[in-house]
């Protein structure tokens, strides 16, 4: 996902000090705490720029502040490139950070690999399958120097929404990145859940953004509705998916909440707050840095409460019955 390099610095009293964004720069906000408390140096690396991932980062820094943790934070974006992530993490290690916060599976995997022989604790977030990705030994006891929060979604519950909206839906299309381990896991979970629900999954795999447009056309042609999983490549093409699905008058169910204009053709998003996910990870940081707990002894966390967000314009365009169960108590947006 191509992203603009972010670069900003700020000081938050008694909390997060300095939030820097950028790729290739290692400028770091300067803080001595100002109150006699210890200041912890935290490096944040994010796989790409995306609203959900940004929320996980901001929730983390907000929680540090609310927990009274004084931190000198350096944030860098890997721009979707593993090689860039390796360089960023290497710089964090060389600069002697007290902790690394890795947002997204590829950077979490890289952070774990590069810190195995160090004493630097690693926290991750927005990782769908920490065990399958070989980031942790188990969710209950991660082991090593790493733990964090997973954004695994309730796939069966989500897919069950589609026939509740329209009982003629039998085939569900999924476009996914074949190079992303989390995406492979989600497709397998979806296929298992679909079989139990009497649905069929039409999975279309791609490995670069240039193939997305054709893959979306194929998925729409072969299915009655689309299911957007948490996939960085898919997220980068959200505007294309949204426009094509609306033009084809096909329902799109998304496994995470996105209220941006790029998603204005998506009927329903079912998900949780990535801000809350980041806050949960921030509390873990306090346990490790201030309370002295070993990262590997803290169970992987998750947010279990999901919400339906429904776009009124798509509901009207598709001529759907607004009294159907998935729309009750849903958050309606334009």
Enumerate the domain spans of the chain: 16-151+273-302, 155-271+306-333
pLDDT grade for 334, boundaries at 50, 70 and 90: confident
- Note whether 16-151+273-302 and 155-271+306-333 share their fold: yes
pLDDT digits (tens, 9 = 90+) for 296-329: 999 999 988 899 999 999 999 999 999 999 999 9
Average pLDDT over residues 97-105: 97
Query: Which burial class, exposed, middle or buried, applies to 157 when counting CB atoms under 10 A from its CB (0-12, 13-18, 19+)?
Result: exposed
User: Is residue 25 scored above 90 in pLDDT?
Assistant: no
Which residue's entry shows tokens 């290690």? Answer: 93
pLDDT at 139: 97
pLDDT digits (tens, 9 = 90+) for 38-93: 999 999 999 998 888 999 999 999 999 999 999 999 999 999 899 999 999 999 99
pLDDT at 262: 84
pTM, two decimal places: 0.77
Q: Which of 179, 206, 204 is nearest to 190 (CA)?
A: 204
Token pair listed for 73: 């934070």
Measured between alpha carbons, how far is 215 from 200 in angstroms, rounded to an integer?
Answer: 17
pLDDT at 50: 85
* The CA-based dihedral angle spanning residues 186, 191, 195, 201, taken in that order and rounded to the nearest 10 degrees: 120
**Which CATH entry fits the domain spanning 16-151+273-302: 3.40.50.2000, 3.40.50.2300, 1.20.1250.20, 3.40.309.10?**
3.40.50.2300
Token pair listed for 167: 């009982």
Q: Which of 304, 306, 310 is nearest to 331 (CA)?
A: 310
pLDDT at 51: 86
> In the CATH scheme, what architecture does the domain 155-271+306-333 have?
3-Layer(aba) Sandwich (3.40)
Instruction: Specify the DSSP class assigned to residue 275.
Output: H
Structural contact between residues 162 and 253, judged by C-beta atoms closer than 8 angstroms = yes
């Amino acid at each position: 996902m191509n992203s603009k390099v972010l670069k900003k610095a700020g000081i938050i009293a008694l909390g997060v000090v300095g939030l820097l964004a950028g790729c290739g720069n290692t400028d770091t906000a300067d803080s001595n705490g100002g109150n006699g408390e210890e200041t912890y140096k935290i490096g944040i690396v994010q796989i790409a720029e995306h609203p959900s991932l940004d929320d996980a980062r901001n929730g983390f820094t907000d929680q540090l502040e609310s927990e009274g943790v004084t931190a000198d934070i350096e944030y860098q974006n890997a721009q979707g490139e593993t090689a860039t992530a390796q360089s960023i993490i290497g710089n964090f290690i060389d600069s002697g950070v007290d902790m690394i916060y890795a947002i997204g599976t590829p950077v979490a995997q890289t952070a774990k690999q590069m810190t195995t022989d160090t004493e630097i604790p690693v926290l991750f977030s927005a990782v769908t399958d920490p065990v399958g990705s070989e980031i942790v030994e188990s969710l209950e006891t991660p082991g090593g120097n790493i733990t964090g929060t997973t954004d695994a979604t309730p796939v069966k519950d989500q897919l069950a929404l589609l026939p509740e909206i329209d009982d003629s839906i039998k085939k569900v299309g999924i476009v996914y990145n074949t190079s992303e381990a989390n995406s492979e896991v989600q497709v397998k979970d979806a296929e298992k859940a679909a079989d139990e629900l009497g649905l069929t999954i039409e999975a279309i795999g791609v490995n670069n953004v240039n193939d997305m447009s054709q893959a979306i056309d194929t998925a729409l042609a072969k299915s009655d509705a689309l299911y957007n999983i948490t996939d960085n490549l898919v997220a980068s093409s959200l505007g294309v998916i949204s426009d094509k699905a609306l033009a084809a008058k096909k329902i799109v169910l998304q496994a995470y909440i996105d209220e941006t204009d790029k998603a204005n053709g998506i009927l329903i998003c079912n998900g949780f707050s990535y801000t809350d996910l980041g806050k949960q990870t921030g509390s873990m940081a306090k346990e490790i840095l201030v309370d002295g707990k070993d990262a590997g002894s803290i169970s992987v966390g998750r947010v279990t409460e999901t919400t339906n967000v429904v776009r009124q314009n798509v509901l009207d365009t598709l001529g759907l019955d607004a009294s159907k169960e998935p729309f009750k108590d849903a958050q309606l947006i334009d």
